[in-house]
Amino acid sequence: MKVAVLNYTGSVGKTVVASHLLAPRMNNARIFAIESTNETAADLGLDIDQLRGEQFGTLFRELLMLQDAIVDVGASNIEDFLAHMNRYEDAHEELDYFALPVINTGKAQRETIKTVAALAELGVAPDRIRVLFNRVDSNVEDEFLPIIAYAEKTGDFTANPRAAIYENEVFELLANARCTISDVLADQTDYRALLRQADPTDLDRIAQLSNMHALRALARPVDRQLNSAFAALFGDATSMHKGSAHD
């Protein structure tokens, strides 16, 4: 599967989606960061290929040879990315899905609709444009009503309320530790045992071990929730709010 993660607005969690949600569930797919200014998956310790939006030709040739790929398009590069994609006839067909993370601010939801319109203008089919609700506080339908209502009204994209990532401090802790959830879950270190053995006067060591144990405790349930979000994002379209006159 080849997926582009993009949105006209920044700070909606595109890199978190690429690194923590998609990569571990897509055969550790190769990640292309179309970014020049902001954080990329490289900041979390993942190997990436970094390009700029105007280098779409290079990306296009790479995608032709890959079975799995993640294209993380930064807001600073999306205009160039889409403009250069448009120069290659049906180039969007090299990507199976366009995942649009959105957070529950009015600006982010308006910019998401703008992104949908830009993709539709390129000829991307509605069932390949999929919104991912990110940083959800408690209830997707309440917090993202404009997006869900617009999907139901127009049928231009898929908005499944179960395709959601909930607000959790684990993502900030992972960024500070420069690692992914997969890294944390693969770590077999017994931090509880090390804490019992630690010198009680070595407060820095105790803090480090405590943080790693807490990070693992947070990571496990979040990983399970990400499994559900991934299944909902790319699952059976009949279970989704596709929003059209056909419903």
What local confidence, expressed as pLDDT, does residue 43 receive?
52
**Distance from C-alpha of 22 to C-alpha of 120, rounded to nearest angstrom:** 23
> Which of 28-42, 67-81, 144-158 is the least confident region?
28-42
Residue whose entry in the numeric block shows the structure tokens 């700070």:
11
- Pairing state of beta strands 30-34 and 69-73? parallel
Q: What residue has token string 């299944």?
A: 231
pLDDT in tens, 87-107: 888 889 999 999 999 999 999
Of 38-42, 61-65, 146-150, 165-169, least confident by mean pLDDT is 38-42
What's the rounded Cα separation, in Å, for the pair 79 and 161? Answer: 28
pLDDT in tens, 164-189: 999 999 998 888 888 889 899 999 99
Ordered alpha helix ranges (H), the chain: 14-16, 56-63, 78-85, 106-122, 140-143, 145-154, 170-177, 181-186, 191-197, 203-234
End-to-end CA distance of the chain: 27
More confident residue, 243 or 13: 13
Residue the block writes with tokens 């190997």 = 47
How much of the chain, in percent, has pLDDT values that exceed 70?
89
Q: What does DSSP assign to residue 158?
A: B
Edge-first strand listing for the sheet containing 48-51: 48-51, 30-34, 69-73, 2-5, 97-102, 129-136, 164-166
User: In angstroms, how far is CA 127 from the centroid of its own chain?
Assistant: 18
Structure tokens at 84: 């250069």
The answer to whether 181 and 170 are in contact (CB under 8 A) is yes
